[in-house]
Structure 1
Amino acid sequence: MVQSSILFSSATALAENIRTGKLKSYEIVTAFFEQIAKYGQTCNAVVTLNKTEALQRAMEADIAISKGEIWGKLHGVPITIKDNYQTKGLRTTAGYSPLTNNVPDMDAEIVKLLKGEGAIIIGKTNLSVLAMDMQTDNPIFGKTNNPWDATKTSGGSSGGCAAALATGMTSLSFANDLAGSIRLPASYCGVYGFKPSFGVVSLQGIQTDPEEQVNGLKSLAVAGPLARNIEDLELAMRIIAKSTGEDRRLTPLVENTEAIDIKGLKIAWTDEFGGVSVDHEIKLKIRDYVSALEKAGATVVKINPGVDFHLAWKTWGSFVGMQGGYNKSNFIKWLGLPFTKGVLKNVPMHQNIVKPTSVKKYMAAMNVQDAMITEMENFLNIHDVFICPVSAVTAFNHHAPSKSYGNFSIYNSPIKVNSVDLHYYMATQAYTTPFTLTESPVLALPIGLSKQQLPIGIQVVGKRYEDFKLLQIGKILNSYLDNIEYPSVK
């Protein structure tokens, strides 16, 4: 097998080839390190290497195979981890300057599970500062460029994961998502991403600001995988979606036992919601794709859920403002309002992040969330999945913030959507945050390329805790797409 075949093989295939002795783990791990060395500076995706330990572990994996020992589902397979998961003995910075030399003495729970199945961590992938932006850039490692066009963003906050996959620098990558941090980079880089249902994968071991004694984000945020195919997403979820001795507060996923056929699927879809414009090319690509599904026998209807999207955006912001800003007094928030009020007046999801809040307002937000979860679940009792855009635009030119408020970037310059100005955060978060609020599992699926040869992705939204059924449906939907041929790294 030539090196390029190794680099762009699925993690599932690599695991099988290692188990059967067709390939050596050491050979595979070496090939990925050579790819990182050759093209790493072009994309700047894998920022901290674990070379010595990974190669040693690969040799041990090969010895184990020779003795008939199998460590698990990813025996000897190289993977990467987003740089805000704690990794024992391996630098974890979260892209935050005070953590530049931070080396944890423990692994995050998701890392323990992956290691327990024999995965070999070859490095950490780049992200935005404390995973708080929709681009990947930080003062420690700099920008991660889009593999399709280095002048454009890879998305955020998990852009390093997506860019590493698109350039053959890893076989699987693991990230987290609060506002679209898995879905947006997957869409911009032409790979697959999966945002699980809330509360099915442990978040213990996420690296936060060292000034925060606890991680305040106790709802909405999830951990999940990115890959180059859906089979690998499913394999990853079977490893990480489980309770551990350190985290028993997780909800078990429902196993799917029913056969799925395109002719039995009921698909709801839209190319725009909430009054937020979407690039014409994205809308056309979605319409063509849905038309292909209908011709194949699926029941297709263009309809939006009964969710009040404007209220959903504001409620998402209420949770982030209360939980993410738990250690900031209302007085401090009040002082910051003049810096953000004018900029965010047209960004409903961020208005409540920066505003002073109260327990009463937080309880009201929880009631709104309950109602919206019920609305979405009832909608998905009628329709198997809901298809919609990931973003208002494809990958855009690297976009510098106008100023910062603490670790939060503020953007004054808009993004063009069909020659109309749209606020940066509306362009990048409007289509992702509602399904964070409803706790829905979401598959980010690449459906083609724009005229500029930039990837176009969609969200496929499923019912809570039916993540495996959604992935099975995703496999059916994916069979009606042409494979995206990843670009040569220049």
Structure 2
Amino acid sequence: MTDLVFRSACELAGMICDRTLSATELLDAYLVQIAQHNPKLNAICTLDEDSARNRAKQADAALAKGENWGPLHGVPITLKDIFETAGLKTTAGYMPLKDYIPQQDATVVARLRAAGAIIMGKSNLAELGGDFQSTNSLFPQVNNPWNLNYTPGGSSGGSAAAVAAGLSALDFGNDIAGSVRQPAHFCGIYGLKPTDRRISTAGTIPEVPGLPVCLRQMMTVGILARSLQDLKLGFSLIAGADSRRPEVPPIPLNSPSEKSLQSLKLAWTEEWPEVPISAETQQILQGVLRKLTDAGIRMEEPASFDFSKMFELYGRMAAYVNKYAQPVNRHTIRHSVKLLWRTATQGDKELRRLGNFSRFLPELLNPSLKGYFETLTERDRFTAHIDSILEPWDAWLCPVAVTPAFTHRPSWTAIDVDGRAYPHGVANGAYTMPFNLSGHPAVVIPVGQTLEGLPVGLQIVGKRWREGDLFAIATQLDSIIGDRQTPQGF
């Protein structure tokens, strides 16, 4: 049954539909895998076994009567513990929410249930989704299935670890700075950050329940999976307009252009000059470049953007949208001061100028409506600039992070990269934050491993609202450079 839990969600759904496999049998296989491996990974923080068993039995009974609930009929999945689930604890790893049981599903959850998915439980994360590791005050830290001494990333680290280790067929997270893409890269799986406002965020945290909806920019719902086909399926089920979030437009998934590999025009950026990637990551990406060049694909360096200004704009934007998302109390103040102090004092001095979030204290302590609108206007200009950079290209290929997974460490401490100390946010967010700021969709595919056996991913950035093209291009590229493997021992 071990092989079964590593099959794609699409394949499993097909097996259940044609009744070569029952939903109950599949759930049992996942529960065995969870019982065996979750104690060392801490990927799943809340398991809802009884409800999942009842739902699996109902799924089998429905099929026996000729009823099909939808594309995920009877497939067990998990959800990052930021999605509100009616009747099931939702904590976001935040102590004041340790006993919070929502009365209503998040829009994404409701749509997945309507598609026939069985929600087994919730996956572990960084507290309130606020770190590039996955630690919080309620549950043990999440470990990377490739090496338990390493982080799976964050904030969707539990989601990525669960999918990589075969504890779940599919998982859904959120991404405001790379929280889906960096864990996918660290754990050797596929990840999607869609176009900004493509998927409703209704019923998601880090806005603590009862507070205003502040994260109306840059925050997206994302997907973690073991195949691009699963990403595409999951996206098709949850994207679209929602009366709970009127700003989500009713834009359908576009039909891909069906260009051949050789007719694609791809932009290639091996690294931002201001933030060099590790030598080992660079070596793997150079191997990817050779494979694509040998396949006859045209790639060139695209036009550039001012990285320093981008990072400053992202920081100001993040300060404004997060200002009122959490209550002001001793816990959040202590947490914020620690983050600001470490970004201001740790890491190479030149790089620290980029990642020093303490310079945004004016926006945090004395925000102004005028300042917020000025920042939004600058963001619009940046989005238009990235649109113009991408205009000649079908997609833009670039790294996901400066390094592969790193060893566990206190939150927001510096990371050594070939003898140079990188501030935590720069090492982990420099290659993902630009596309949260601009709102462009991006897919991560696994493309290789380091000598220590740690996965490395590649980020494929598409044009806004053109996820159909992005999936088609990523699928063609994956057939040449994709390298998803199963962690040893799982």
Query: Structures share a fold, TM > 0.5?
Result: yes
Q: Which amino acid aligns with 1:267?
A: L
Q: Which amino acid aligns with 1:480?
A: I
Q: Distance between the aligned counterparts of 2:378 and 2:199, measured in 1? A: 24
Identity of aligned pairs, percent? 34
Q: How far is 1:424 from its partner?
A: 1.3
Q: 1:152 maps to what in 2?
A: 150
Q: How far is 1:352 from its partner?
A: 5.2
1:242 pairs with 228, 240, 243, which one? 240
SS in 2 for 1:346: helix
SS in 2 for 1:150: coil
2:94·2:136 contact (CA, 8 Å) conserved in 1? yes
Q: 2:349 maps to what in 1?
A: none
SS in 2 for 1:145: coil
Q: Distance between the aligned counterparts of 2:357 and 2:85, measured in 1? A: 31
SS in 2 for 1:81: strand
Please give the residue correspondences for 1:41-190 in structure 2 after superposition, counting only pairs within 5 Å: 41-190=39-188
Which range moves more in the overlay, 200-209 or 63-72? 200-209
Q: How far is 1:167 from its partner?
A: 0.6
Q: How far is 1:175 from its partner?
A: 0.2
RMSD of aligned Cα (Å) = 2.1
Q: Which amino acid aligns with 2:216?
A: K
2:341·2:358 contact (CA, 8 Å) conserved in 1? no
Taking a change above 3 Å as real, the CA distance of residues 178 and 353 of structure 1, as seen in their structure-2 partners, is farther
Q: 1:37 maps to what in 2?
A: 35
Q: How far is 1:154 from its partner?
A: 0.5
Q: Distance between the aligned counterparts of 1:294 and 1:76, measured in 2? A: 42
Q: 1:372 maps to what in 2?
A: 382
Partner deviation per Cα, 1:166-212 (whole Å, 9 max, x = no partner): 11000000000001000000000000000000001010001346476
Q: Which amino acid aligns with 1:369?
A: R
Q: Which amino acid aligns with 1:269?
A: W
Q: 2:464 maps to what in 1?
A: 464
Q: 1:390 maps to what in 2?
A: 400
Q: Distance between the aligned counterparts of 2:132 and 2:210, measured in 1? A: 22
Q: How far is 1:12 from its partner?
A: 0.2
1:350 pairs with 342, 354, 357, which one? 357
Q: Distance between the aligned counterparts of 2:482 and 2:304, measured in 1? A: 32
Q: Which amino acid aligns with 1:233?
A: L
Please give the residue correspondences for 1:324-473 in structure 2 after superposition, counting only pairs within 5 Å: 324-326=322-324, 339=341, 342-343=344-345, 345-348=352-355, 350-351=357-358, 353-356=360-363, 357-401=367-411, 411=412, 413-473=413-473
2:2·2:33 contact (CA, 8 Å) conserved in 1? no
Partner deviation per Cα, 1:9-37 (whole Å, 9 max, x = no partner): 10000111111111100000111011101
Taking a change above 3 Å as real, the CA distance of residues 244 and 370 of structure 1, as seen in their structure-2 partners, is closer
1:145·1:163 contact (CA, 8 Å) conserved in 2? yes
Q: How far is 1:131 from its partner?
A: 0.4
Q: Distance between the aligned counterparts of 1:482 and 1:246, measured in 2? A: 38
1:391·1:431 contact (CA, 8 Å) conserved in 2? yes
Ranges in structure 2 where 5+ consecutive residues have no aligned partner: 347-351
The answer to whether 1:272 aligns with 2:271 is yes
Ranges in structure 1 where 5+ consecutive residues have no aligned partner: 402-410
Q: Which runs of 4+ in 1 moved over 6 A?
A: 335-338
SS in 1 for 2:30: helix
Q: Which amino acid aligns with 2:162?
A: A
Which range moves more in the overlay, 180-189 or 261-270? 261-270
Q: Distance between the aligned counterparts of 2:344 and 2:52, measured in 1? A: 49
Q: How far is 1:247 from its partner?
A: 3.4
Which range moves more in the overlay, 236-245 or 204-213? 204-213
Q: How far is 1:292 from its partner?
A: 1.1
Q: Distance between the aligned counterparts of 2:67 and 2:213, measured in 1? A: 38
Taking a change above 3 Å as real, the CA distance of residues 247 and 212 of structure 1, as seen in their structure-2 partners, is closer
2:144·2:151 contact (CA, 8 Å) conserved in 1? yes
SS in 1 for 2:444: strand
1:128·1:137 contact (CA, 8 Å) conserved in 2? yes
